[in-house]
Amino acid sequence: MTDTKYIFVTGGVVSSLGKGIVSASLGKLLQARGYRVTIQKFDPYINVDPGTMNPYEHGECYVTADGREADLDLGHYERFLNVPTSKYNNVTTGRIYKTVIERERHGDYLGATVQVIPHITDEIKRNVSLLKEDFDFIISEIGGTVGDIESLPFLESVRQLKRELGRNCICVHLTYVPYIAAAKEYKTKPTQHSVKQLQELGIQPDILVLRTEKLLHRDLVRKVALFCNVEEEAVIQSVDVPTIYEVPLVLQEQEMDAIVLHKLGMEVGSEPDMSLWNDFLRRKDSATEEVRIVLVGKYVTLQDAYKSIDEALNHAAVYNDRRLVLSRINSEEINEGNAAELLSGMDGIVVAPGFGERGIDGKLAAIRFARENDKPCFGLCLGMQCMVIEFARNVLGLEGAHTTEVDEKALHKVIDLLETQKNIINLGGSMRLGAYACVLREDSLAYSAYQKAFVKERHRHRYEFNGDYREMFEEAGMKCTGENPDSGLVEVVEIPSRRWFLGSQYHPEYTSTVLNPNPLFVSFVRAAIGE
């Protein structure tokens, strides 16, 4: 392949239609044909990244291996493609403007008036092309919907790129076809208006993807094709399915990947090899026995706040031939008095990551119940730190033991801020971020899960296990079984006397994919089902 091919995915009518899932599904089909594929997300908000955004507003903040705090859609891209993303895969309006303004301050524009066109659009286009050396296909998802004022510079960049790239570039537009119950019919007018808005911006979609609850009659599809100036076979229906992992198969049935190749002037060739993907779905569908896991965290009321954890548990359950029944408990609603009532019926407990004081007491209560009742328990980041705090208070007898994130005057700062973090003023992008090495003890639970002593997992935190207390913890039964080989920082803690009691300072959920579930999650679920 001599030329990189570009696919732009836009959305209309309403947000949250699943542009990310459609992008990931199309990418999976192209990858299954032997192509090298990556997906990038352009977010219209002015935040430089989602690192300082409330999960209630934006959902999970994903982290790439090279340390970029990114949109949760990058998690979908990695879980589908099984290929790591990078800082180039997520770009916001804030980052675009920040770069352009810094260049202007530096004098790079030689006194020219800096404008949206060409300077902002040129910077967007530059970011589109940054990945071209390593991939055959670059799928670029434009956040928001057509008509949003924030998206206009990105859509103008798409218009320019379609003109410049010619047949190496296509646009896929995703819209919603609502069902009006009173009229007992689906309405295509919102899709027509959305496409019209896109055309007014100078972009003619090559492929339409219609999000619907049920399969549309062929007459409606013909109508959409006629009024939107799109070939009938290029109108794809994305009908609701039980799991997002079935979406690639829905698109494959309608030959969307073949249509894409045809429109890009490429040979279609043989069908994509989706055998491993289908094996995963077969195992998922055939699982009948349940495994009951509870997630304890303070953002549980928002579906996407812990998206990677949810999916990692799903992957692990499938590979243990179990059907996951996932419950969520707000950590502000659990305490020493009701922990037994809320948690006794669960097979395993996951204590979620997070920031700040709110909900910590509930996490400590859940951990104490798990430790004292030998219930499999998995602490992630702050969850791991809460394991350390609970052990310090209730086993070591260190009254007032805490993290300095919550109590700077704590008598026993078992979780403390690194010296390199103490003088940081800006919160965004200043934590310990990205993949760091971890060396595991060979006699540890973590080693038996990974089946190797050296791993690299992703981090997103400021506070660390205080090494001054390490010997005290080890002697009392909480072992520090994983550490960073360069800094000596503790990465994993375990209590070997319990069936499965482990906390990781890093976020193993970020690296769990459909075809490669994270080993710690697989091991945890195996313990939860009693194996």
- Residue 313 counted as domain residue: yes
Bridge partners, residue 427, by sequence = none
Across the 531 residues of the chain, what is the mean pLDDT of every consecutive 10-residue run? 85 88 97 96 91 81 94 95 95 96 93 94 94 92 93 96 94 95 90 96 97 92 96 95 95 96 92 95 96 96 92 98 97 95 96 91 97 97 97 95 91 84 57 93 97 96 93 96 95 97 98 97 97 73
User: According to the model, what pLDDT value does residue 303 have?
Assistant: 83
Same domain, 351 and 224: no
Same domain, 348 and 232: no
User: According to the model, what pLDDT value does residue 314 have?
Assistant: 97
Among 251, 278, 305, which residue terminates a domain?
A: 278
Same domain, 292 and 273: no
- Tell me how far apart the alpha carbons of residues 282 and 285 are, in angstroms, rounded to a whole number: 5
User: According to the model, what pLDDT value does residue 270 have?
Assistant: 85
User: According to the model, what pLDDT value does residue 416 have?
Assistant: 92
Per the CB < 8 A criterion, the answer to whether 71 and 95 are in contact is: no
Could you give the angle at which helices 152-165 and 121-129 cross, rounded to 10 degrees?
60
Same domain, 233 and 292: no
Residues 6 or more apart in contact with residue 527 via CB below 8 angstroms: 348, 376, 499, 500
- Residue 152 counted as domain residue: yes
Q: What is the pTM of this model?
A: 0.93
Bridge partners, residue 435, by sequence = 458
Kindly state the tokens that stand for 327: 């419950």
For residue 515, the enclosing domain spans: 288-528
Among 244, 278, 312, which residue terminates a domain?
A: 278
Give the domain CATH number at 41.
Answer: 3.40.50.300
Per the CB < 8 A criterion, the answer to whether 69 and 60 are in contact is: no
Same domain, 245 and 377: no
Query: Can you list the positions of beta strands (E) in 352-472?
Result: 377-380, 402-403, 413-417, 432-440, 454-461, 463-465
- Tell me how far apart the alpha carbons of residues 110 and 108 are, in angstroms, rounded to a whole number: 6
Residues 6 or more apart in contact with residue 460 via CB below 8 angstroms: 61, 63, 69, 353, 381, 431, 432, 433, 507
Among 237, 252, 278, which residue terminates a domain?
A: 278
Same domain, 412 and 454: yes
User: According to the model, what pLDDT value does residue 1 have?
Assistant: 38
CA distances (Å), origin 115, targets 100, 101, 109, 147, 153: 10, 11, 11, 21, 11
Give the domain CATH number at 436.
Answer: 3.40.50.880
Residues 6 or more apart in contact with residue 351 via CB below 8 angstroms: 296, 297, 363, 366, 367, 377, 378, 379, 380, 382, 383, 386, 387, 503
Catalytic positions, please?
A: 381, 507, 509
CA distances (Å), origin 304, targets 58, 300, 312, 353, 514: 8, 9, 13, 14, 18
The 3-class SS string of 215-259 reads CCCHHHHHHHHHHHCCCHHHEEEEECCCCHHHHHHHHHHCCHHHH
β-bridge pairing 5-11 and 137-142:
parallel
- Residue 101 counted as domain residue: yes
- Residue 283 counted as domain residue: no
User: Which of 184, 240, 185, 182 shows the shortest CA–CA distance to 210?
Assistant: 240
User: According to the model, what pLDDT value does residue 14 have?
Assistant: 86
- Tell me how far apart the alpha carbons of residues 390 and 379 are, in angstroms, rounded to a whole number: 12
Same domain, 186 and 331: no
Same domain, 114 and 149: yes
Single-letter amino acid code for the residue at 165? L
Residues 6 or more apart in contact with residue 149 via CB below 8 angstroms: none
User: According to the model, what pLDDT value does residue 262 have?
Assistant: 95
- Residue 272 counted as domain residue: yes
Same domain, 97 and 199: yes
Same domain, 366 and 444: yes
Kindly state the tokens that stand for 205: 């979609």
Domains: count for the chain: 2
Could you give the angle at which helices 19-31 and 73-81 cross, rounded to 10 degrees?
20
Same domain, 516 and 385: yes
Same domain, 114 and 223: yes
- Residue 308 counted as domain residue: yes
